[in-house]
Amino acid sequence: MKLPEMRQMLSDRGIQLTKSLGQNFLHEEKVIQKIAAAGELTRADKVLEIGPGLGPLTEVLLAQAGEVLAIEMDARLVEILKRRFCSESHLQAASGPAEAGTPNLHLIHADALKYLESDSHDWRGWKLVANLPYSVASPILVELALTEHGPERMVVTLQREVAERLRAKANDEDYGLLTLLVQLNYEPKALFKISAGCFFPQPNVDSACLTLVRRRHRLLTPAQTKVFVRVVKQAFSQRRKMMAKLLRADWPEEVLRRAMSELGLSPQIRAEAVALEQFVQLTELMVETR
């Protein structure tokens, strides 16, 4: 979808874009193809797209994957997507006003975050490929990353700063809560930058596309994961404070002292210097001693 076509579509319908919904649409064909290529799609794949907008990426996903589930919050864009991708006959056969689609597109008009939180979805066999709405990108990724059966691959276009946080390591400036909540189940892979000129309108932040691949073997069980989330949230609640002091609010001092000493972690260490694997081991020890 080229920029003039995009502008025309919007002006024909008198649509003023909504900044708070992060409506910056991709019009650079090469970049759209590169994002889809990172999905390594085959006809056997089911793809979740969050925020299809006017559908420039949707079009490519539909050509390469077997099934696309697209969730868009803006009713005006849902109408455009229906016209672009859904035949009249199928629209009539669709189950309700909120959902429509072609044989391989299911279009849902909803707030994606609420949709994901509302039920425990099983995303095994699915891939997320999306140019995410930047304001809700982090909670959406955390929700998908921590769900018991998350997508096998997530290819996401994001604010560059958020992408850097997602692939950070201990002691990096960007390392923190978001890094750990996502990396527990996903390994960050390739990242490429996307210049502001590839979007309409141009965002005033830098963007990047990051691939995350679900770990083959879980590092923690679902029950342990709940404790891990509590530990890392508490440990990063005040970045400059010693981790042991922060964790004492939730765990007995003796349990903490023993676990940290077993892992060779200094009592003075701050959370930003503790690696994912160490948080995982700490969680296992804390669960054992409960």
**Interface residues toward ligand SAM, by CB under 6 A:** 21-26, 50-53, 56-57, 71-74, 77, 111-113, 131, 133, 136
Contact 123, 175 (CB under 8 A): no
Q: Which is nearer to ligand SAM, 72 or 284 (CB)?
A: 72
CB 207 to ligand SAM: min, Å: 9
CB 42 to ligand SAM: min, Å: 21
Which residues share a beta bridge with 154?
128, 212
Q: Which is nearer to ligand SAM, 131 or 225 (CB)?
A: 131
Torsion angle of alpha carbons 31, 76, 118, 228, nearest 10°? Answer: 30
Residue with tokens 């676990």: 259
Residue nearest to ligand SAM (CB): 51
Q: What's the DSSP call for residue 69?
A: E
* Alpha-carbon span 271 to 254, nearest angstrom: 19
Strand 99-100 vs strand 105-109: parallel, antiparallel, or unpaired? Answer: antiparallel
Q: Which is nearer to ligand SAM, 81 or 232 (CB)?
A: 81
CB 198 to ligand SAM: min, Å: 9
Q: Which is nearer to ligand SAM, 71 or 227 (CB)?
A: 71
Q: Which is nearer to ligand SAM, 72 or 164 (CB)?
A: 72
Q: Whose CA is closest to 59, among 98, 133, 6? A: 6
Whole-Å CA distances, 177 to 13, 142, 232: 42, 10, 6
CB 122 to ligand SAM: min, Å: 20
CB 163 to ligand SAM: min, Å: 14
